Structure 1
């Protein structure tokens, strides 16, 4: 009989290494074991893409700065072959890249780190330029005067005046607003009307912070001087925007991105929020050693945001192994519930459950008809896949038409997995009956719900993403569960009569 000592030693080594890596991560870099009670840092990455035309290329991107609520603690650029510099110009602070020759698609990364800091010094430089009063044509001037007079009578300072003015511009019943907005956008109208009223303001490019957000574009908003500092307003809402969720990226409003020697240029932003210790937060930049460089935290933020979900899948696998080996819960497919749970994360739980039941139920009805055609397996599965796609398309359109926008998210369901699930349940129905289908289908749904609850737990999300070593601990736990050959919990009821005797 083969000795299991090497196996247990290997499992113990995996768990020990995983715990050691997690402890090092905590002690060396100050990453907390639990979310909360720490300092928040936003990693924001700008990804610049353009097509070079075989000539010298120069790229200039507006760069952010320390502002109210945010302290700039680090910035870096990844641009192989390019020279990079940070300059202060009349157009504000900018990052500039240059190269003597470039050809074809080019990608440049610019990454910044901002510490959420209530004590951060804001850009409180008062406006110095004299406000130039704009002109309006014909009836627009009468409408502008009416809007300004209305906002003036209902306000007491620059902030309340701006709020009332934006409220008037968003009033769909106002003829004056309709006349002004007939020839310009709300942003242009608000900016011109503020200048017409002598209120200091400027248009800025703003990034709305949302953890894990990918491929976001900057938004143009207004900054209004209230006498002490600049306050942000969106022309689409009369309510002042929350400063802690908005980061001013381009203060100059001259241009967000300039490219010379290239075409089809674009820039989008990816952001991730991380919790760090107070000691780490006070450092302007932590020098990364070899261990950190080989972690997922050294990847571009867009890939990090993707891994934030991927790192939760081992937790789902551990739950499935536990439920199947120790509890004896039956599921349709081994890890199908994990993929369904990932879809639930995108669709939300109730919408996901309803969508799953509708798709699988409708698919079983159609599959029962296909079984009468005596098709070969490959053709039958292909037909089921197309059927699932059609079912999802129909349900999505119907949900949109009746106003259930939550139903639009069922497109996140894995179509191939659902097709195999329908095929498996249909065969099971023919061989074992409806009871077995209900048991396995219900077990799959219950498992998916439990995995969803684990994946959406903030503590689990924090640990799996920030402590990569825990993946080794989970692996060791799964290997240990795999050695269990005893009775499952659901099997014990079969032996209850023996205990009674």
Structure 2
């Protein structure tokens, strides 16, 4: 008989190493055990994409600086082969990259770290120079003057004037506003009307900070000078409550990105939030080094946001192992519920459950017809895959047409896994009967819901992403559960008659 001592020693080592790594991360980098305990830092990455034309290239990107509520604590660039410099121009700070020769697709990364700092104060730069009055066509000018007169009657200063002007533009029944909106966007209208009314204002580019967001584009908003500071306005909504997670990225009022020597240029933003200690934040200890450089925190932010979901999968696997080994719950497939739970995270729970039942139910009906054709396994599975794709397409279009926008997220379901699930349940129906299909299907759905609840728990999300050692502890627990050879809880009902006797 093989000794299990080496096995238990290995499990103990996994637990010890996992706890040690987690303690090291907590003590040396100040990461809290629970979310929301300490200061928050935003890692924001701008990814510049363009196609080089085989000649010298110069790229200029407007970059942010410390502003009210946010302190810039670090910035860096990843651009192999390019020279980089941070310059202060008349229009604001810019990062400039240059290379003698660039051809084909090019990627440049700029990363900035901002500390959420309510005490951050920045010297406000007042507007200078005369305001240039824009020229309008006669009908447009008449509509603009009418809006100015109406907004001026309802306002007391430049800030309230801007607020009333935005309300008028968002009035669906306003004819003057409709005329202007046919010519320009709301942001441009507000900017031009304010200039026409000789009110100091400018356009700024902002990004909305959302943890795990990828490939976000910059949004344009308006700023108005109230005599002491610049006030931000979002003309897209009559509600002037600006989200606290708005970061002003581009104050140049000129251009966000300039590329000389390239074409098809574009820039996208990815961001992720980290919880750190106040001392670590103020002392600028966020820079990854040593062991941290070997972790997912050294990856680009777009990949980090992806790993934030991937690191939750071991928790789902642990739940599945516990339910199958200890509880004795039956599922259709071993880890299919985990993948379904990942889809639920994207679709939301209710929408995901309804979509899952509709797809599997419809697929079983179609699969029952295919079984009569006596097709080979490969052909039958391929037909089921195509059928699942068609079902998802039909359900998505129907949901959109009737106004259920939540149905659009049904495309996140793993089509191959659903196809195998339908095939597996169909065979099970033929061999074991509908009762077994309901048991395994219901068990799979219950497991997926439990895994979803664990994956969306903020504490679990925080621990799995910030403490890589937790994965070793989860692995050790799964190994220990794998050695269990006792009765499952659902099997104890078989012995109920013996207890009664």
The two structures have a TM-score, normalised by structure 2, of: 0.98
2: CA distance between counterparts of 1:45 and 1:126? Answer: 29
Deviation at 1:241, TM superposition (A): 4.7
- Against the structure 1 CA distance between its residues 123 and 187, is the aligned structure 2 distance closer, same or farther, given a 3 Å change threshold? farther
Equivalent position of 1:131 in the other structure:
131
Q: Where in structure 1 do 4 or more consecutive aligned residues deviate above 6 Å?
A: none
> Are the equivalent residues in 2 in contact too, given 1:56–1:101 (CA < 8 A)?
yes
> Are the equivalent residues in 2 in contact too, given 1:233–1:239 (CA < 8 A)?
no
Deviation at 1:136, TM superposition (A): 2.3
| Residues 1:201 and 2:201 are matched in the alignment | yes
1: CA distance between counterparts of 2:45 and 2:98? Answer: 19
2: CA distance between counterparts of 1:178 and 1:394? Answer: 36
Deviation at 1:182, TM superposition (A): 2.8
| Residues 1:15 and 2:18 are matched in the alignment | no
Equivalent position of 1:35 in the other structure:
35
> Are the equivalent residues in 2 in contact too, given 1:163–1:239 (CA < 8 A)?
no
Equivalent position of 1:104 in the other structure:
104
1: CA distance between counterparts of 2:284 and 2:227? Answer: 31
| Residues 1:174 and 2:174 are matched in the alignment | yes
> Are the equivalent residues in 1 in contact too, given 2:233–2:242 (CA < 8 A)?
no
Q: How many residues align?
A: 501
> Are the equivalent residues in 2 in contact too, given 1:168–1:177 (CA < 8 A)?
yes
| Residues 1:72 and 2:72 are matched in the alignment | yes
> Are the equivalent residues in 1 in contact too, given 2:71–2:116 (CA < 8 A)?
yes
2: CA distance between counterparts of 1:49 and 1:38? Answer: 35
Equivalent position of 1:216 in the other structure:
216
Structure 2 unpaired stretches of 5+: none
Equivalent position of 2:159 in the other structure:
159
2: CA distance between counterparts of 1:358 and 1:153? Answer: 57
Equivalent position of 1:427 in the other structure:
427
Equivalent position of 2:94 in the other structure:
94
Corresponding residue SS for 1:259 = strand
1: CA distance between counterparts of 2:63 and 2:229? Answer: 21
Deviation at 1:358, TM superposition (A): 0.6
2: CA distance between counterparts of 1:284 and 1:490? Answer: 54
**Bigger Cα displacement from structure 2, 490-499 vs 30-39:** 490-499
1: CA distance between counterparts of 2:236 and 2:491? Answer: 61
> Are the equivalent residues in 2 in contact too, given 1:35–1:459 (CA < 8 A)?
yes
> Are the equivalent residues in 2 in contact too, given 1:131–1:200 (CA < 8 A)?
yes
Deviation at 1:322, TM superposition (A): 0.1
Equivalent position of 2:323 in the other structure:
323
2: CA distance between counterparts of 1:361 and 1:444? Answer: 14
Deviation at 1:97, TM superposition (A): 1.0
2: CA distance between counterparts of 1:135 and 1:389? Answer: 54
Could you report, residue by residue, the CA deviation over 1:368-393 in whole angstroms, capped at 9, with x for unpaired residues? 11111111111111111111111111
2: CA distance between counterparts of 1:199 and 1:371? Answer: 74
> Are the equivalent residues in 2 in contact too, given 1:232–1:243 (CA < 8 A)?
no
2: CA distance between counterparts of 1:319 and 1:184? Answer: 54
| Residues 1:334 and 2:327 are matched in the alignment | no
Deviation at 1:178, TM superposition (A): 2.0
> Are the equivalent residues in 2 in contact too, given 1:455–1:461 (CA < 8 A)?
yes
Corresponding residue SS for 1:437 = helix
Deviation at 1:101, TM superposition (A): 2.0
**Bigger Cα displacement from structure 2, 396-405 vs 154-163:** 154-163
Deviation at 1:246, TM superposition (A): 0.9
2: CA distance between counterparts of 1:288 and 1:271? Answer: 16
Equivalent position of 2:440 in the other structure:
440
Could you report, residue by residue, the CA deviation over 1:322-370 in whole angstroms, capped at 9, with x for unpaired residues? 0000000000000000000000000000010011011111111111111
1: CA distance between counterparts of 2:260 and 2:312? Answer: 43
**Bigger Cα displacement from structure 2, 441-450 vs 285-294:** 285-294
Deviation at 1:184, TM superposition (A): 2.1
Equivalent position of 1:490 in the other structure:
490
Deviation at 1:108, TM superposition (A): 0.8
1: CA distance between counterparts of 2:129 and 2:379? Answer: 73
Deviation at 1:185, TM superposition (A): 2.0
Matches within 5 A, 1:267-282: 267-282=267-282
Equivalent position of 1:245 in the other structure:
245
Deviation at 1:123, TM superposition (A): 4.7
> Are the equivalent residues in 2 in contact too, given 1:395–1:407 (CA < 8 A)?
yes
Structure 1 unpaired stretches of 5+: none
